[in-house]
Structure 1
């Protein structure tokens, strides 16, 4: 299910959310959803944002717990990708022994900032991306 809302005020914040089923096969649908919502962006920037969406969602599916939700929050020249899951363990950018760093290292390289909020019911991992070419 997709949820959309716009918050009035300066620079209108548009929020679009997608509930994600507990299945890695959902990643293709999540990528397609994000790609459709970002068609107004240049191809290279849209690709970077979709990659961030994919990496954060993939981490939530592989290491988190349901329920999961992906949100795109957008203002002119700014976008934030947020992914919720119900796992209380913090997201970690350090690879486990013998693993190669991927997800959050890639997210850090494609975003201006990333982080996470711990909640009593899980966490939200987020990444901010500027859309003005800087």
Structure 2
């Protein structure tokens, strides 16, 4: 097992929207609202219009599901932006654990969220505050 790189998101990132989840059932509404938010907040029109939201929604599903399953509620999903990227920050309230990249065989169920985030986003990292553990991923804007 490896550890995810410790790194806060870029300091120039501005918060656009935030969602609070207490149950996995709320994730569906967050996904729909997040897709709308990406369009409202200036996702560049063109061929990436379908690809970027799909990648962001896939990553939010994985990271928020992990936070709901393994962290302490509530899970907080925040959409941030810089001039050229969107950042997705997913936080839970279990500050005692460290995100780990587990060895996963292809047929195992689950455990792929961090690998998936690393493979389809521009960058991924994690950090903690006094009350939360946050995992973030960035995407082209």
Q: Shorter-chain TM-score category?
A: 0.7 to 0.9
Instruction: Report the TM-score, using the length of structure 2 for normalisation.
Output: 0.74
Q: Return the offset for 1:74.
A: 1.2
**Residue 75 (1) aligns with residue 85 (2):** no
Q: Which has the higher strand share?
A: 1
Alignment match of 2:121 (pick from 78, 86, 111):
111
Separation of aligned partners in 2, 1:129 and 1:31: 16
Instruction: Report the TM-score, using the length of structure 1 for normalisation.
Output: 0.78
Contact 1:68 1:86 in 2 (8 A): yes
SS for the counterpart of 1:25 is helix
Q: When the two structures are aligned, how many residues end up with a matched partner?
A: 120
**Residue 89 (1) aligns with residue 90 (2):** no
Q: CA separation of 1:96/1:129 partners in 2, compared to 1, >3 Å: closer, same or farther?
A: same
Structure 1, gaps ≥5 residues long: 1-10
Aligned alpha-carbon RMSD (Å): 2.3
Of structures 1 and 2, the one with the larger relative CO (CA 8 A, separation 6+) is 2
Alignment match of 2:51 (pick from 22, 41, 44):
44
